[in-house]
Structure 1
């Protein structure tokens, strides 16, 4: 925790926000505990141009306090939520609607100063008004958009079962997203508290991987066949190992968590059983952020269910980073700025 210079006035196409709420992502914790992994500490980032220490925070809600040139549709006082990723809008991936794969993509709070501060500048084009949502509900919009993007790539029909492995911030929201689509889910984690959040989010079967063989439990819950779809959000080898052992023949593994360790993929089984692997990276702002806000408007209880605690900025390290690093937070830790 330290004093940081005020942001410059917003540039063309930017908004300056006074932050009301920010939340901590597992990626923030990784950067704090063992990084830098993504932060460009010594070499300027190719897109943002930033190099050196920065302010974390890519999940935030704030009020517009200044509007840059050529910005329309926003006014001082608007309550808004930005997406996390900044794309160019003109490369081949952007013009195809896949802005999350932009050739010059960068993330606020990882490649430029983020929202765990009193003020921050954000591009207007990745920002959306929150409507009638309160800040305590709207703070879930960005992580929920990530979960919706992951679930949108799942083709689950009637009678099929989806397993979500890892019930942290994104995993529990993925369960809620599946519930909204009437998809029956099996939730897997090593934390009883996180499993309880998954139950309240709509999971029909809970598997405590600290107490039993999770893959065997998945097969029992699916009549021995295995899961039709496994969404892996934990990012740890045991999670991927469970996914490989718990998925059915002809099934689908969707990777959301970032795996830094060697991955235990049985490539022979993937081929012989025609198991499909797909991946999901953050979200597509124009599609997933409005959908997340709409879902929160229909079901604001998703936010309360997913939050572990709300802390003051002064408590950010002991009450946020350190608790999350120790695995003591069952859900999202929200920071009141």
Structure 2
């Protein structure tokens, strides 16, 4: 696609406020220095997107200007995405044009002390595509080239490439935990991040114990390589989990984000365990910090990903299972079904798939705003 073939406008899913998403015709963005313009092939939708739609604005700068991006007002969502590079900004090698890329959308400053020390995910001037600036639920999106990886070169197609971003979240959680080959790791919650986490841990040689309420997700965990699976919510499930590590010290990944899940983890793990809070709690919840102290537990938070290390590893892990992600990410929904098919059910705790994917808008159709 030449610059003259890039249209002036495109369709986008624009969030104006709580439960106010509109399909609009907006200008196609231009890549700034260090950025690429991507023609979107697939977008992942997660709980963060659903929360912004159902309860927001929380992170999106709709009512208040973002300190880094300067954005204020309606926001195009979409921070898990893939597509083909069709134009490059100043300072970007033109060889990127035509490549199928997966992007994590991260835009750290690259120069603060945290970035320099390898913790760009907690950069002092961090921003992200689809959260703090317009995202990929559109025909085109711009992103820093440093936040993109050549997915096509790894044999990943334009649909599965959108799984690289959530996989990078899982990769970062595994790194934060300090888990090593041969360790036992409990993954409580085989959802949109938990499933990827299992795959990432198995790749590291970790013995995974997967726990979930849903029998189908328990089966999925076994398919992804979990050594042992436990159906949660039964009278014996807590004892089964506790028996799974034997004499070994486990690492416990709490991925559900629920009060009950975190308290169960803190209650049943042995002294000295690392508990990693992967799932984001929807509201403040009481935690027995006294137990954390006297049992010398390590409670670890994990946020986003370090694009410089986690993104490339995540792309490799998605490529390992290329063509076999159907059980995690089933057939993508149509762009026009975004609310009813993704945002609404996710916000109500009834996700249509472990990972919900959305096709980009049909460029031949202009839908009315809603």
TM-score (norm 1): 0.93
Deviations 1:130-180 (A, max 9, x none): 113211221211111110111122334565321111221111100111111
Deviates more, 1:194-203 or 1:156-165: 156-165
Quote the Cα distance in structure 2 between the aligned partners of 1:24 and 1:15.
22
Higher alpha-carbon deviation: 125-134 or 190-199: 190-199
Which residue does the alignment assign to 2:44? Answer: 23
User: Is the 1:226–1:246 contact (alpha carbons within 8 Å) kept by the matching residues of 2?
Assistant: no
Aligned to 2:272: 250
CA distance in 2, matches of 1:323, 1:193: 18
Q: Which residue in 2 is equivalent to 1:186?
A: 209
**Aligned length, in residue pairs:** 336
- The answer for unaligned runs of 5 or more in structure 2 is 1-21, 361-370
1:335 aligns with 2:358: yes
SS at 2:171 equivalent: helix
Deviation per residue, 1:260-301 (Å, 9 max, x gap)? 422332111111111111111111111011111122223325
Q: Is the 8 A contact 1:55 1:117 kept in 2?
A: yes
In structure 1, stretches of 5+ residues that fail to align are none
Q: Distance in 2 between matches of 1:84 and 1:258?
A: 19
Q: Which residue of 1 aligns with 2:250?
A: 228
Cα separation, partners in 2 of 1:247 and 1:60, compared to 1, 3 Å: same
After the TM superposition, which of the residue ranges 178-187 and 67-76 deviates more from structure 2?
A: 67-76
Residue among 292, 297, 312 paired with 1:270:
292
Secondary structure of the corresponding residue to residue 173 of structure 2 = helix
SS in 1 for 2:271: strand
Contact in 1 for aligned 2:31/2:88 (Cα 8 Å): yes
Q: 1:178 to 1:302 in 2, by over 3 A?
A: farther
Helix, strand or coil for the counterpart of 1:128?
strand
Alignment of 1:83-232 (within 5 A): 83-130=104-151, 131=153, 132-157=155-180, 160-212=183-235, 214-223=237-246, 228-232=250-254
* Structure 1 stretch displaced more, 191-200 or 99-108: 191-200
Once superposed, which parts of structure 1, at least 4 consecutive aligned residues long, lie more than 4 Å away? none
Is 1:291 aligned to residue 313 of structure 2? yes
* Superposed CA offset, 1:24-79 (max 9, x none): 11111111222221111211111111112211110000111111111126432111
User: What is the rounded CA distance, in whole Å, between the counterparts of 1:182 and 1:308 in structure 2?
Assistant: 27
Give the conservation status (yes or no) of the 8 Å contact 1:219–1:227.
no
RMSD of aligned Cα (Å): 1.9
The alpha-carbon distance between structure 1 residues 74 and 195, as it changes in their structure 2 partners (threshold 3 A), is farther
